[in-house]
Each structure stands twice: as C-alpha cells, then as structure tokens.
Amino acid sequence: MKQTVLVVGLGLIGGSIALALQKSPNVRVIGFDANSDTLQSAKVLGVVQDVTKNPEEIAKKVDVIVFATPVNATLEWMESLKSWGLPSTTIVTDTGSTKSLIMEKAYELRQQGITFIGGHPMAGSHKSGVLAAKPYLFENAYYMLTPLEGENEETINNLQDLLQYTSAKLMRVTATEHDHMTSVVSHFPHIVAASLVHQLHAEGTDNPITKLLAAGGFRDLTRIASSNPILWRDITMQNRQQIAEQLADWQAEMKRVQDLLTVGEAAQIEDYFAKAKMVRDELPISSQGAMYMTYDLYVDVPDYPGSIAEITAFLAEERISITNIRIVETREDVFGILVVSFQNADDRERAAACIQKRSPYEIYIS
C-alpha cells in the first residue's frame, strides 16, 4: 500500500528520516521547513520527493506526519494540529530528544481524536542541517517509541513497519523512562562537555597556550559541545528536572574525587580509574547507542608505509569512501595495525570483501 509521509523540519534528523523512508518503493515523502533555503536544498538534493509551503493544507492528505523540529517548536506544532481537522487515521510522530512534555501534549491531542506516537532515534551527531543528513544515520541505533497507554496496537505496528526503513532497533518505553535514561547518557553529558569548554575558555589571556594543547582526549570528550545551541536549549529546558538530578549526583561524585585527591592515596586513585575503565570497556559496542559511531575495519598488514597506499588504492578502485585511516602503534594485539573507518556498515562490508579478494591480509571487525 502506498503511503505519503510529511516531514516537518528537514535538518540532520528530519532529512535523514526522509532519506531512509525513501528506500521504500511505497513511500512518498513531502517536506516542510521554516527555512526556505533548507526547503529548497532538500528538494534539489532529493532528500524529499516534494516540498510544501503549507503543511496544514497538505496534512489532511498524508498518512503519517513526522515532526523533526527542535522540541519547543514541536510542542507549538502539536498545539496547532488541534485545529487542522486531521482524519482519525493519520499517525503523527516526532523525533525529539525529550518525551514527557511532548507526550503530555499528545494526551491533549488524543482528546481531539488525533493519534500521536512519540519517537526518538538515538543516533545523530553534533552536526546540524539538511546537508548533514544521511539515509543510514540510524542503522543499528536504538529508536525509542513512547506510545500513550492504551494506544491501538495496529497503529503502533503500522508506524513500526514504516520506521523499519531506518534500519534502527525499535524499542518501546514510557516517556518518564525515556527522559530519565536520556538525561544520563545524552543530556547531562552535553552539559559536562560544554562546561569543560567553558573551563578551557576561562584560561583566557592568562594562559593563551593552553588551548593550543587541547588535542586528542579533550577534543574527543567535548565534540558534542559543537552541537546546535537552540536544540540543546530546548532539550535542557524540557528535561531540566531530570538533568538537575544528574547534576546533583555529579557534584557528589566530584566531592568524592576531591576527597581522593586531598587524601592522596595512590591505590585509591588507581582504583577510581580502573573501575571506570572496566565499566567503559564493557559497554556494548554492537549498537550505536546515543553516540556518533565509526565503522572500523582492522587490516593486519605488514608494518610498512606502502601497505596503506595499497589498501586505499583497492578501495578507491571500487569507489568505497573512507572517513579515516590510522596506524595502531602496537602489534601485540590480535588485531592488525591499520584501522580504516567507514561511514556505515554497508561500506565496511564492501571494503572487507574488496580487501579479502585483492590481498592476502587478514581483516577483523571489532
């Protein structure tokens, strides 16, 4: 059965959803964005099949509406939906990073006969805008759905059938569970990242060299501080209660660290890092979680510079793009020393087949 989907907000997430849904031969995607340049780019780039300047008018004729706007704008759209006269069969969903206030609004919509099933794909990046959209952004990521209690199972299944084109792992949770979990793994870490950058900035003119040294670890840890401030203003405002609880726990944790440093007992400090390493090393790596992910391929090549050129030439010949390439300096590990990163699992698989076919080197996927 043919389905028409209206995506409102064609940035990183809306654009990526639109591209993913177009993998279905039975889906037609129409887009709207408040920014007319974005709307035009989305059409020119084929992110959507068609665009509209009047979402209210087109909404009555579509099967599914996806709001992929900053979460405060989503609440405003939901309020205006009440007067649109949508047919009862329309499914409305969103991609917002918060869920409690949105599902409270969904409850109001239900009183008007409108079906809203909250959604949140737990993948993305610090980048924003339609140019950063990718059809495989959600591959293997968790995609949380927060239907209201008593939601019609067939309706939820219909939405799930559509969202399978994102290749994400769909998961149902309540809005409260959602907002707690995301405060821990996503919202509060964004505040920590921003605070570290502020701390670096405070070095200011007294120590101008410090920021030149902010490489490796500091950059890894603070990448998400480069995210869209409007997005994070809205997320923080909507989930500020949960985030405040995380902040209180963090302050207690920092007090514990301060005490460890005051006492200066080496074994306790080592233990602090060892425990963190153990927990971090055991985090599941088979899924994307909330984080930006690279798809690495380990190639066990002889340790000489020519092998890098050889491998990249094979990949170029088969037009497989790489995003990064590096040498791991130890050969003690079971893995090879050349680590090549790809944009998605598909490219990595093609690369593995290509290298296997053309070289004697062993390859590993971690």
Ligand X SMILES: O=C(O)C(=O)Cc1ccc(O)cc1
Ligand Y SMILES: NC(=O)C1=CN([C@@H]2O[C@H](COP(=O)(O)OP(=O)(O)OC[C@H]3O[C@@H](n4cnc5c(N)ncnc54)[C@H](O)[C@@H]3O)[C@@H](O)[C@H]2O)C=CC1
Nearer to ligand X, 125 or 312 (CB): 125
- Using the rule CB under 6 A, is 191 a contact of ligand X? no
Q: What is the DSSP string of 71-104?
A: HHHHHHHHHHHTTS---TT-EEEE--S--HHHHH
Cα separation, 59 vs 61, in Å, equals 5
Cα separation, 164 vs 169, in Å, equals 8
Residues 103-162 that bind ligand Y (CB under 6 A): 120-121, 124-125, 128-129
Nearer to ligand X, 186 or 344 (CB): 186
Among 291, 308, 322, 325, contact with ligand X (rule: CB under 6 A): 291
- Using the rule CB under 6 A, is 11 a contact of ligand Y? yes
Cα separation, 220 vs 74, in Å, equals 31
Residue type, 47: V
For ligand Y (CB under 6 A), the number of binding residues is: 29
Q: Which of ligand X, ligand Y, none interacts with 73 (beta carbon under 5 to 8 A by kind)?
A: ligand Y
Among 235, 243, 297, 363, contact with ligand Y (rule: CB under 6 A): 235
Give the interface segment with ligand X, choosing from 22-30, 75-83, 119-127, 295-303 (CB under 6 A).
Answer: 119-127
Q: How crowded is residue 310: how many other Cβ atoms within 10 Å of its Cβ?
A: 17
Q: Which of ligand X, ligand Y, none interacts with 186 (beta carbon under 5 to 8 A by kind)?
A: ligand X
Q: Which of ligand Y, ligand X, none interacts with 236 (beta carbon under 5 to 8 A by kind)?
A: none
Cα separation, 67 vs 119, in Å, equals 10
Residue 214 token pair: 């902010």
As a 3-state breakdown, the chain gives helix, strand, coil percent values, each rounded to 5, of: 50, 15, 35
Cα separation, 158 vs 154, in Å, equals 6
- Using the rule CB under 6 A, is 292 a contact of ligand X? yes
Judged by the rule CB under 6 A, the positions of this chain that interact with ligand Y are 8-14, 33-35, 38, 68-71, 73-74, 95-97, 120-121, 124-125, 128-129, 228, 231, 235
Residues of this chain that bind ligand X (CB under 6 A): 97, 122-126, 186, 224, 290-292
